[in-house]
Every structure is written in C-alpha cells, then in structure tokens.
Amino acid sequence: MDSGNTRISYCYRDASNYKFWGEFVVGGHLSRSQLQPYLFEGDWFIPEKVGLKHLLTEAWSEDDHLLHELHNFECTSVSDTVCSAEVFVERFKAAHGRNWFSG
C-alpha cells in the first residue's frame, strides 16, 4: 500500500457456518498486524465496540453471537471513510482494554 486509504472486509459467521459479509474504509494505511494484538483470542472483535455494525441481517437464533472476523485489507482511493486508521487502532485498543465484552 503506497497511497490512499484502506478497505477492510469483515465477516460474521454463526455456529452453523452461515456467513454475512461487510466492508468499510479507514483513512490512511492500516494492516491486520496493527490490530492483531487487540483482537479477542487473536481472531475476533465486536463491531459495535469499534463503531461498526453487526452484520447479522436475520433474526437472532441460538446459533448467533457478537463476534466477527477481519479479512482482507487493501489499498483504495475511496474517500468515504469511517475514521482514520489511527483512530480505528485506538478503538481496538480501548475495546481490548475493556475485555471486549464490558461496557
């Protein structure tokens, strides 16, 4: 990534392995390795805790939960961002500091 912003795809996968996908853009450069230390159990995050939406589009069932996964990170010239890369990392740090599941 040598210029622009970062498009990130994320996924919600329920216990039956049904998947729902979404994406967003942050301003500037961001890599998974910058967020890795703050992910729950090294893989998961709760999108509402970092300013994103939960991707489940159907009614909740016994298979559902709060956790989502980060997937692709790619350079983009799209300028409609949710926040800067720096602010996004700070949101992950704060959520991790609260153990993701607390207020």
Segments making up each domain of the chain, as ranges: 5-97
Spatial contact of 29 and 85, defined as CB atoms under 8 Å apart = yes
Residue 12 has pLDDT above 90, yes or no: yes
Residue-wise pLDDT tens digits, 19-67: 999 999 999 999 999 999 999 999 999 999 999 999 988 888 888 899 9
Q: Which residues pair with 9 in a beta bridge?
A: 23
Spatial contact of 43 and 11, defined as CB atoms under 8 Å apart = no
pTM (predicted TM-score): 0.89
Residue 95, number of CB atoms within 10 A of its CB = 22
pLDDT of residue 1: 42
Q: Pairing state of beta strands 68-76 and 44-45?
A: antiparallel
Q: Distance between alpha carbon 52 and the CA centroid of its chain, in Å?
A: 7
pLDDT of residue 58: 80
Q: Would you state the structure tokens that stand for residue 4, as one six-digit string?
A: 């622009």
The rounded distance, in Å, linking the Cα atoms of 52 and 16 is 23
Spatial contact of 42 and 96, defined as CB atoms under 8 Å apart = no
pLDDT of residue 103: 64
Residue 2 has pLDDT above 60, yes or no: no
Residue 101 has pLDDT above 60, yes or no: yes
Residue 29's closest CA among 93, 72, 74?
A: 74
Average pLDDT over residues 71-100: 96
